[in-house]
Chains A and B, each alone.
Chain A
């Protein structure tokens, strides 16, 4: 059998999609022809290379960019991102670190100096009771903060939607004011101009 004929069938043979008769022809040929079997081997490795082709991920900022240029609405944040944005990041400042260490130092000194006196007062309250009060206080505070955050978020979303809508409207009004044909020509001209500019800049670089 002719090698060029076999070559036509190799891909189908690899995918086992050939009719029985042709499959047998190819198999017989491969037993005797070193060239064609080498081709088959390499075809297989080319396929596996294709399978491991790198996959690019879309970073959140990229998605945001696209959304702002289309619907105009910013990306929905995950809970973790919001937590990070409003709680974690604002508090991770040098000033806070210094403040926290000063407070700790103060508390340590206080308990050391006033320990004997405080112990009397503390014993009046059972430890469980004290813990319960503290827990209530913390939960109350946390709830307030969450509520404030939700309000802030809503307000932000509304504001950005308003801003983007106005912006889009203004843009469309501006576009309508230009004659559409002229606008198109302009954009084409710009694109044409772009290419030579890039070339000239690369030339400049090489000459420099």
Chain B
């Protein structure tokens, strides 16, 4: 149970993460705090992109991290990076959450106005702020209208910036399928944008 303080700090690579897990398992609370701080934000944002609501995302993040803490023992460094393991746990719980709630997130209750103030400290001019809200509102609505598979592909690739290989590993499907899902998702978003422009009467 004694936290080993003599270990040197390592860059956050594969082996570093598995060391971190080892330290957590030995009861080193500081190591667990480091895990929560470095991966929590990613999980929080991922949950938010799936649920489109901040309160739900917070609950989900807590649930996910509690599950991770309880199951740390089952992580094997040989079978992949800690991050991917963590994301897999997160994804499973997010999908469970979907099934429980039995609906796909609605745009009506989303809190996009609130989120505008987060992320950028310097507030832009009212005009720009309005356009930004409108654009992010459009994207959120557009994402909700995609099928779950397409939405997942777009969120992971275009918002989270994951590589195709990572995604194939995480979702356990071939890269070709992922690429075609991403293409379909992007096409649908593009078509929605065209539709919106024609409705507003602006030139594309």
Contact = CB atoms under 8 A, between A and B. Distances in A.
Contacts of A53: 49, 136, 139, 159
B202 to A, nearest CB: 12
Contact of A69 (B62, B116, B142, B179): B62
B116 A54 contact: yes
Interface string A62-92: 1101110111110110000000000000000
Contact of B194 (A42, A66, A67): A42
| Most chain A Cβ neighbours within 10 Å, of B36, B136, B159, B190 | B190
A168 B111 CA distance: 35
Contacts of B186: 10-11, 14, 43, 46-47
Contact of B100 (A10, A56, A67, A191): A191
Interface in B27-69: 29-30, 32-33, 36-37, 40-41, 44-45, 48-49, 54, 57-58, 61-62, 65-66, 69
Nearest to B103: A195
Contacts of B36: 63, 66-67, 70
B45 A51 contact: no
Given A70-B65, A70-B66, A39 B54 contact: no
A70 B44 contact: no
A75 B101 contact: no
Contacts of A11: 179, 182-183, 186-187
B11 interface: no
A12 B135 CA distance: 25
Contacts of A56: 41, 44-45, 48, 54, 57, 115, 118-119
Contact of B61 (A10, A66, A67): A66
Nearest to A39: B190
Contact of B190 (A42, A54, A70, A195): A42
Interface in B55-111: 57-58, 61-62, 65-66, 69, 100-102
Contacts of A20: none
A181 interface: no
A41 B118 CA distance: 29
A53 B159 CA distance: 7
Interface string B185-198: 01101110110000
Nearest to B34: A76
B154 interface: yes
Contact of A66 (B45, B62, B142, B182): B62
B33 A75 contact: yes
B180 interface: yes
B62 A54 contact: no
Nearest to A75: B33
Contact of B204 (A8, A42, A47, A67): A42
A205 to B, nearest CB: 13
Which A-B residue pairs are the 8 nearest by beta carbons? Answer: A11-B183, A42-B190, A50-B158, A46-B189, A73-B29, A70-B69, A42-B193, A43-B190
Interface of B: 29-30, 32-33, 36-37, 40-41, 44-45, 48-49, 54, 57-58, 61-62, 65-66, 69, 100-102, 112, 115-116, 118-119, 132, 135-136, 138-139, 142, 154, 158-159, 179-180, 182-183, 186-187, 189-191, 193-194, 204
Interface of A: 7-12, 14, 38-43, 45-47, 49-58, 62-63, 65-67, 69-73, 75-76, 191, 195
